[in-house]
Amino acid sequence: MAEPGIEQGAYGEQPAPAHAPEAPVRPEPLGVTVAPTGNADVDAAMDRLADADDLPTQSHIEVYEDVHRGLRDALAALDENRS
């Protein structure tokens, strides 16, 4: 039995919605610019952050972890050079 205000098709199936659901809205890049630091390793890691702009949200963690690893390695290299 159909709900009030909803008509059923010839074989009892529900009709398709009058309009298709909208596609998910993709986030827009923030457009944040980062000034070069002069350290090639740090600059490469910061440039990698821009890759997140083209990825779905669930893939951002991979980029963030990669950037974190690069920054941690760059910091460790600075500590090694002081010794």
* Total-model pTM: 0.59
- Give the pLDDT band of residue 14 (cuts 50, 70, 90): low
Q: Which one has a higher pLDDT value, 40 or 24?
A: 40
**Mean pLDDT confidence for 52-61:** 87
Q: Pick the residue with more confidence: 7 or 48? A: 48
Predicted local distance difference test score (pLDDT) of residue 73 = 94
- pLDDT, tens digit (0-9, with 9 covering 90-100), for 26-52: 667 777 788 999 999 999 999 998 888
- pLDDT score recorded for residue 67: 95
What is the C-alpha separation between 39 and 59, in angstroms, rounded? 27
Average the pLDDT over 55-75 and give the result.
Answer: 92
Nearest to 26, CA basis, from 62, 64, 52: 52
How many whole angstroms from its chain centre is CA 36?
Answer: 23
